Amino acid sequence: MRIRIKVVPIMLLFLCSVVWAGFGAVNAADWNFGNRTPNLTWKMRVITQKELEKISAKDMDLSPSVSLRILAKLNARDFDYIAQDIRDGNPIKVPNDFTAFKQWTPLYKYIADAADLPRFILIVKNLPYIGWYERGRLVGDTYICVGKVEGATKEGIYNVQEKDVDHVSRSYPNAFGEPAPMPWALRIYGTVWIHAGDIVAGHCSHGCINLPIFPATALFQWATPGTPVLIVDSLQAVPSVLAQNRSNCTLHASVCRTVRKGSVTGS
C-alpha cells in the first residue's frame, strides 16, 4: 500500500471541509427532478477533457473537477487515476446524465434497522463502498479499497477499537521498504484498520479498508471509539444481517448497557 500524500492535519481538515463537505451526503434539493426520474445509467466509454468542459459550460455546478469526482465515485478509483485514464483515452464508466449523479451513492440513504444507532459504519465489499450513518440516515460515503485476496477483509460486526491520526503499519512496508504510513486510522479488528490510502482499484489492500484522503479525515473526525462497523459482501445482505443481530451488543451497545443496568437495579 502506497501513500503519495504527506498528511498535514490542519490544512487537510480545512480542505476537507471546503472540498468534500456534503459530497455524497443526502440532500433532497439535489434530487428534485420534478416528475422526471433521474437517469442513473452509465456507459463504459472514453470521455475527453473537452467533454468535461462542455458539461461545465451547461451546468456551473459541474466544473471539470466536480465531474472528475463523480467519475471517481462511479469507477471506485481515485480521481487522479481517472484524470490519467482520460488523458490516455482509457474507457471508464461515464454517466449518461452527470446532473443525476451529483449526489449519487450506491448505498442505502436510510436504514430502518440502524435508526436507533447514534453512529453506524457500513462497508460493502463488492461495490466497494463505505458509508457512515446517524440514526439510520447516510451522512457521508466514499469508494474504498478492500483486501485483494478473498477473505482478507472479513465480513462481520465490529466496532472502532482505536483511533490513530498518524498510524504507521507494523506489518507492511511502503515502496521504499519503510513502514507504510496509514493516516487517519480507525482499528476495527486485529491488524485491520480503516485509513487513508491510495485507491488504484476496488480490491488492492492486504485487508485494511483504504479511503481517499478527504473522506478519511472526515470519517476519522466523525467516528468515536465503540462506533459499530458492519462489513458485508453485498448491499442486499444488510437488511437480513441487521435484523438477525438486533440483540448484538457490539452493534447495539447502548441498549445492552441499559438492559444490564436494569437487571442490576432489579436484582
Question: Could you tell me whether strands 228-232 and 120-124 are parallel, antiparallel, or unpaired per DSSP bridges?
Answer: parallel
- State the average pLDDT over residues 212-225: 97
- Residues 116, 218, single domain; the answer is yes
The full 3-state SS of 34-56, as one line of letters, equals CCCCCCCCEEEECCCHHHHHHHH
- The phi and psi torsions of 188 (rounded to 5 degrees) equal -115, -30
Q: Is residue 92 part of a domain?
A: yes
* Residue-number span of the structural domain to which 48 is assigned: 28-101
Query: Cell numbers at residue 226, please?
Result: 465503540
- Residues 46, 153, single domain; the answer is no
Calculate ∠ Cα 127-45-131, nearest 5°: 20
- Residues 60, 125, single domain; the answer is no
- Residues 86, 126, single domain; the answer is no
- What's the pLDDT tens digit per position in 192-210? 999 999 898 877 787 899 9
- What's the pLDDT tens digit per position in 34-87? 556 889 999 999 999 999 999 999 999 999 999 999 999 999 999 899 999 999
**Between the CA of residue 126 and those of 51, 83, 202, 244, what are the distances in Å?**
30, 24, 8, 21
Q: Is residue 264 part of a domain?
A: no
User: What is the Cα–Cα distance from 203 to 127, expressed in whole angstroms?
Assistant: 10
- What's the pLDDT tens digit per position in 104-145? 999 999 999 999 999 999 999 999 999 999 999 999 999 999
pTM: predicted TM-score of the whole model, two decimal places? 0.81
What pLDDT is stored for residue 171 in this prediction? 63
- Residues 247, 145, single domain; the answer is yes
Q: Is residue 2 part of a domain?
A: no
The residues, ordered by sequence, that sit 6+ positions from 175 with a Cβ below 8 Å of its Cβ are 2
Q: Is residue 12 part of a domain?
A: no
- What's the pLDDT tens digit per position in 5-36? 444 444 444 444 434 433 444 433 344 445 56
- Residues 71, 161, single domain; the answer is no
The long-range contacts involving 146-151, CB below 8 angstroms and separated by at least 24 positions, are 146/202, 146/203, 146/205, 146/207, 146/209, 146/210, 147/203, 147/205, 147/206, 147/207, 147/208, 148/203, 148/204, 148/205, 148/206, 149/206, 149/207
Q: How many Å is the Cα radius of gyration of the chain?
A: 19
- Residues 60, 136, single domain; the answer is no
- Residues 118, 209, single domain; the answer is yes
Q: Is residue 106 part of a domain?
A: no
Q: How many independent structural domains does the chain possess?
A: 2
Question: Could you tell me whether strands 209-211 and 192-196 are parallel, antiparallel, or unpaired per DSSP bridges?
Answer: parallel
Domain final residue, candidates 101, 131, 155: 101
Q: Is residue 5 part of a domain?
A: no
Q: Is residue 36 part of a domain?
A: yes
| Residues of the chain above pLDDT 70, percent | 78
Average model confidence (pLDDT) across the chain = 84
- Residues 92, 118, single domain; the answer is no
- Residues 189, 74, single domain; the answer is no
Q: Is residue 205 part of a domain?
A: yes
Q: Residue 176 pLDDT more than 80?
A: no
Query: For position 245, which CATH number holds?
Result: 2.40.440.10
DSSP of 49-77: HHHHHHHHHH-TT--HHHHHHHHHHHHTS
What pLDDT is stored for residue 90 in this prediction? 98
Question: Residues for the chain: how many in total?
Answer: 267
- Residues 120, 92, single domain; the answer is no
- Residues 68, 148, single domain; the answer is no
- 3-class secondary structure, 90: coil
